Amino acid sequence: MLDLVATNSLARLAALIVVFVAAIGGVYAVASWLGHRSALRAQLRQIGEDEGVTMRPASLRSHANEGAWAKLAAAIEAAGLDLTDSKSERLTAKLRAAGYTSPMAPRVFTLSRLIGVFALPLGYIALAYSRPGDPPSFLKVYLIGACLALLGLYLPNLFVQAKADRRRDELLRGFPDCLDLLIICIESGLSIEAAMDRVGREMVLSHPLVAEMLSVASLQLRAGASREDAFRKMSEMAGVDEVRSFTTLIIQSDKLGTSIATTLRVYASEMRVRRELRAEERAHRLPVLISIPLVVCMLPVMIGVLMLPAVVRLVKTIFPMMMGG
């Protein structure tokens, strides 16, 4: 058997795939078992602390938000493979900051990482052994496959983090305009609920993320939620410090009975100052960022242009003199 593996390339490929799949499967099985145990312990601890835990009702939009990935994750879990992450709360908050609010989002994220761990190395192995000529060595295939497996494991994290950063920047760009419109609506006589609904409908085209955030909070208030709960959920949905400060100010103004319009006007002026400071910070960072391509690309060319006459003179006069010409 060992002679066949040593002499036949297809046998080596099959043995490599079997060893790789067995190793990854064993590691994932152990990690899934440990995560399941930790999840059970956390649930038992929560039940012990609070015996009156009630189940949260399902969202009316849950079925509409389920796509092909969600159905695939549900089918895999129904087959017996647990896709629950051991750090589900942190993962849920991270995905919510990126805009993924579906209950199946953490499981789909885990499934995408699992597919990346297997798909990238197997794709490279199939591509490497399908080429004509001598197959690559076992060590090379193993090292590149391990690197691709790590890439498939962390690539969804990078994608989610990049999307969360873009979403945060869009919210920061649109929130000062939202505050100005809210001040105008409140000073014209509208309540905070009506002002949020009106501003949300006005900003659908210019800032859709801010409009969605305001619309969700307005619908929660219409459904009977208190102002504090609705604004707390709004801050959790946004995941931006400016929105958290805004919701805290609204809650405190509502409890203390102060004027919401005056509070929003003061906070809007602070937001405009922060936006100016961020613009100045980016402007001051620009020369430093420009200096890198200037040094890398233009400095060698400038040095070559300045030294070219001296080099030509050396070649024409100095070198013949040194050679005895």
Tell whether 6 and 130 lie within a shared domain. yes
* Number of neighbouring beta carbons within 10 Å of residue 192: 21
Number of domains present in the structure of the chain: 2
In a domain, 284, yes or no: no
- Distance (Å, whole) CA 204 – CA 231: 20
Residues 125 and 7 in one domain: yes
Question: Same structural domain for residues 110 and 189?
Answer: no
Q: Are residues 117 and 195 in the same domain?
A: no
Per-residue model confidence as pLDDT tens for the chain (325 residues)? 556 555 666 666 677 677 777 777 777 777 777 777 776 676 666 665 544 433 333 343 444 445 676 676 666 666 666 666 656 677 777 777 777 777 777 777 888 888 888 888 888 888 887 877 777 787 888 888 888 888 888 888 888 888 888 888 888 888 888 888 888 888 888 888 888 888 888 888 888 888 888 888 888 888 888 888 888 888 887 878 888 888 888 888 888 887 888 888 888 888 888 888 888 888 888 888 888 888 888 888 888 888 888 888 878 887 777 776 5
| Residue 19 sits in the same domain as residue 104 | yes
Does any domain span residue 19? yes
Is 173 in the same domain as 271?
yes
Which residue segment(s) compose the domain that 225 sits in? 169-276
Token pair listed for 266: 């003061």
Euclidean distance between CA atoms 306 and 187, whole angstroms: 67
Q: Is residue 87 domain-shared with residue 34, that is, in the same domain?
A: yes
Of 112, 136, 160, the domain-final residue? 136
Q: Domain check: are 193 and 96 in the same one?
A: no
Is residue 323 a part of any domain in this protein? no
Q: Are residues 241 and 175 in the same domain?
A: yes
Asked if 25 and 118 touch (Cβ cutoff 8 Å), the reply is no
| Residue 263 belongs to some domain of the structure | yes
Q: Residue 302: inside a domain, yes or no?
A: no
For residues 6 and 117, state if they share a domain. yes
Cα distance between residue 106 and residue 117, in whole Å:
17
Q: How many CA atoms lie within 13 A of 243 on its CB side?
A: 26
**Residue of 72, 106, 73, 102 lying closest to 89 (CA atoms):** 106
> What pLDDT sits at residue 287?
84
What pTM value is reported for the model?
A: 0.59
| Domain-located, residue 199 | yes
